[in-house]
Chain A
Amino acid sequence: MSNILVYALHHEGAFNKNSLGAVAEASRLAGELGGEAHAVVVGAGIADDLAATLGSYGATKVYKADGPEGLSGPVIDVMGKLFDGGDYQYAVFGGGLLGFEIGAGLAARIDAGVTMEVTAVNVVDGQLAAERPILGDSSISTSRYKGKGIIIARLNAFEVKETGGSAASVEQVSYEASTQSQQANIVTRGEQRGADVDIEGASILVAGGRGLGKAEGFQLAEDLAKAFGGNAAVAATRAVVDAGWYPYAAQIGQTGKTVAPKLYLAAGISGAIQHKVGMQSSENIVAINKDANAPIFEFSDLGIVGDLNKILPKLTEAVKARKG
């Protein structure tokens, strides 16, 4: 019962960074509980060699199942079956959309407690206790489980740490697809929309959100990035990417990129958690927003309450002048 099951998301032959963090964390926790961390991988034709690499992050066994990628249903079916075997009390997921869907569905399937947005997990009296920031990160609550527990991490909550473990043993599992998982079919996965831009290499990012008003508003952000020169780029929030204002490749946050530039200048971004998790490690955070109550001011180093349409053009001119 002291073993922990962990889901490892993969795409195009590589594991998701957050999943690797989850495997490493599950391995650490299982060790403290006196058990092992076992990983689950679901996909089409996964190579044993790839699955076995999870051993480097602490998984001693990897269950491999055939199924469509990008859907929660088949993973819930596989993990539900493994829980039925009685060897597991906990499941751990890295941050991300699929982790939320699978973890929640699995909780209902196996009658478990579930905690989402977890930032730290501890072993207390031989049980897991999960810490989760609540109320706009103003307080931290600790979840304890009466029986089985499912822990869904916040993005980047768990460090990706190689444990020096050897290759994991790989075991193929068969499962019966539930009615509900047969009712969803993936048509296309991972479609990139908009230009392919590189924001991960930039040391200065000017990021735009809904406050830019419309797609054309991004010109203000681009002008400022250009004024900063060589190593500056423009990034965007999910809301504006979904609205088609800016390319997906420039997106920060939960389903986008995680960045830590020297300067992150957020223009018209409210600072929702999903965005914050992708940029909070930036060295210097400057925010411009007309709403003085915007959450972004709670974690910015310099906050400017004002109209970005007035401020950005003048700031661009001033930066240009300084750069001369």
Chain B
Amino acid sequence: MKIAVLVKEVPDAAVQKRIDPSSGRLDRSGEKNLNPYDTHAIEAAMQIREGGAVEVDEIVAVTMGPESAVRALHKAVSLGADRSVHLTDPALAGSDVAATGYALAQVLRRESPDLVLLGQQSDDGECYTIGAVVAEYLGQPSLTQVIKLDIAGDELTCERQAEYGYDTVNVKLPAVISVGDAINEPRYPSLKAIMGAKKKPLDTLATGDVDIDASKVGAEGSHVACGDFKAPPSKSAGTIIEDEGDTDDTVGKIIAWLDERKLLA
């Protein structure tokens, strides 16, 4: 079987995120990295391959984004993907969730994997939704926040926590599954894998290569326009105590703080 993993380049968590006031979009010019949630999806693909319940012929990492997004793909192949596909085209800039999902679905049609895996959310836009959108465009079942994934033949048994406790759901392949971060502990890439990442095959595609209808993507093709950015109601900053050695002193301060609020009464 063939597994595709959707990955995304996101601003490094340590870098201040900001909106570019001229475009109203997230300023993506800072340091970038592979979305940490995506590493769980790659690891899940690797564990299916290593688990031996099914024969995995290929794991393909797929991303959509500007030129710099190849770095996320390099990271993905260093973690175990065999090759990668990069959809990049100025026409895609400003795509909303639905337009992004449509464009990715067109790439996946070309790849026609048996299973699509992705992380539960991206570290920047915090969209939990892309998997469901991609699945709908592909006409496949989808499930999000899966924390246990077993595969037998063409059927997945998935567990996930929903509103009322844990659900177990059987899903027929092909399917789109977003995994929760509790599903596994992603491995670290070996130095050899990092060095070899740039040598693994990388396909760079534009919208025309995968029959993307240009009127359905980009800011123009999107159904949502975001704007009017404003600051949230300010909450007065709390007191911060740094515990630097004298923990008894720190604890004394906590007790005094609790006392002041009559929380030890």
Q: Which residues of A contact B (CB under 8 A)?
A: 9, 11-12, 16, 70-73, 76, 96-98, 100-105, 107-109, 111-117, 133-149, 152, 178-181, 183-193, 204, 238-239, 241-243, 248, 255, 262-263, 273, 284-286, 292-293, 297, 299-307, 310-311, 314-315, 318-319, 322-323
Within 8 A of A (CB), among B212-255: 222-232, 235, 238-244, 247-248, 250-252, 254-255
Chain B interface residue bracket vs A: 35 or more
- Which of B64-72, B109-117, B170-178 is near enough to bind chain A? B170-178
Contact of A100 among B128, B243, B261, B263 (CB under 8 A): B128
Asked if A135 and B19 make an inter-chain contact with CB atoms under 8 angstroms apart, the answer reads yes
Contact of B129 among A104, A146, A147, A286 (CB under 8 A): A104
Known: A117-B126, A180-B135, A311-B247. A190 touches B97 (CB 8 A): no
Asked if A284 and B261 make an inter-chain contact with CB atoms under 8 angstroms apart, the answer reads yes
Contact of A239 among B127, B171, B182, B224 (CB under 8 A): B182
Contact of A143 among B140, B170, B226, B235 (CB under 8 A): B226
Q: Can you pick out 20 interface pairs between chain A and chain B where the beta carbons lie within 8 Å of each other?
A: A70-B167, A111-B98, A113-B223, A114-B224, A116-B97, A135-B17, A135-B18, A141-B19, A148-B223, A149-B224, A179-B139, A184-B172, A185-B171, A189-B164, A190-B166, A263-B258, A305-B240, A314-B251, A318-B254, A322-B255
Task: Tell me if B47 counts as interface (CB < 8 A to partner A).
Answer: no
Name the prevailing secondary structure of the A interface residues: mixed
- Which of B73-81, B142-150, B187-195, B201-209 is near enough to bind chain A? B142-150
Asked if B164 and A116 make an inter-chain contact with CB atoms under 8 angstroms apart, the answer reads no
- Which of B48-56, B85-93, B155-163 is near enough to bind chain A? B155-163
Task: Tell me if B181 counts as interface (CB < 8 A to partner A).
Answer: yes
Asked if B163 and A105 make an inter-chain contact with CB atoms under 8 angstroms apart, the answer reads no
Asked if A323 and B132 make an inter-chain contact with CB atoms under 8 angstroms apart, the answer reads no
Q: Which residues of B contact A (CB under 8 A)?
A: 14, 17-19, 26, 96-98, 101-102, 124-133, 135-137, 139-145, 147, 157, 160-172, 175, 180-182, 222-232, 235, 238-244, 247-248, 250-252, 254-255, 257-259, 261, 263-264
Contact of B247 among A133, A137, A310 (CB under 8 A): A310
Contact of B223 among A133, A147, A179, A307 (CB under 8 A): A147
Residue of B nearest to A286 (CB): B254
Name the prevailing secondary structure of the B interface residues: mixed
Asked if B225 and A143 make an inter-chain contact with CB atoms under 8 angstroms apart, the answer reads yes
The minimal Cβ–Cβ distance linking B145 to chain A, given in whole angstroms, is 6
Residue of A nearest to B236 (CB): A301
Asked if A103 and B129 make an inter-chain contact with CB atoms under 8 angstroms apart, the answer reads yes
Residues of B within 8 A of A135 (CB): 17-19, 26, 124
Docked CA distance A114–B127 (Å): 11
The minimal Cβ–Cβ distance linking A288 to chain B, given in whole angstroms, is 8
Residues of B within 8 A of A293 (CB): 14
Asked if A300 and B232 make an inter-chain contact with CB atoms under 8 angstroms apart, the answer reads no
The minimal Cβ–Cβ distance linking B179 to chain A, given in whole angstroms, is 11
Asked if A311 and B243 make an inter-chain contact with CB atoms under 8 angstroms apart, the answer reads yes
Give 8 closest A-B pairs by Cβ, nearest first.
Answer: A306-B243, A113-B223, A242-B182, A113-B224, A104-B129, A190-B164, A108-B136, A104-B132
Residue of B nearest to A321 (CB): B255
Docked CA distance A238–B147 (Å): 11
Given contacts A112-B223, A115-B224, A248-B165, 6 further A-B contacts (CB under 8 A): A114-B224, A135-B18, A180-B141, A303-B241, A314-B251, A318-B255
The minimal Cβ–Cβ distance linking B241 to chain A, given in whole angstroms, is 5
Residues of A within 8 A of B227 (CB): 141-142, 144
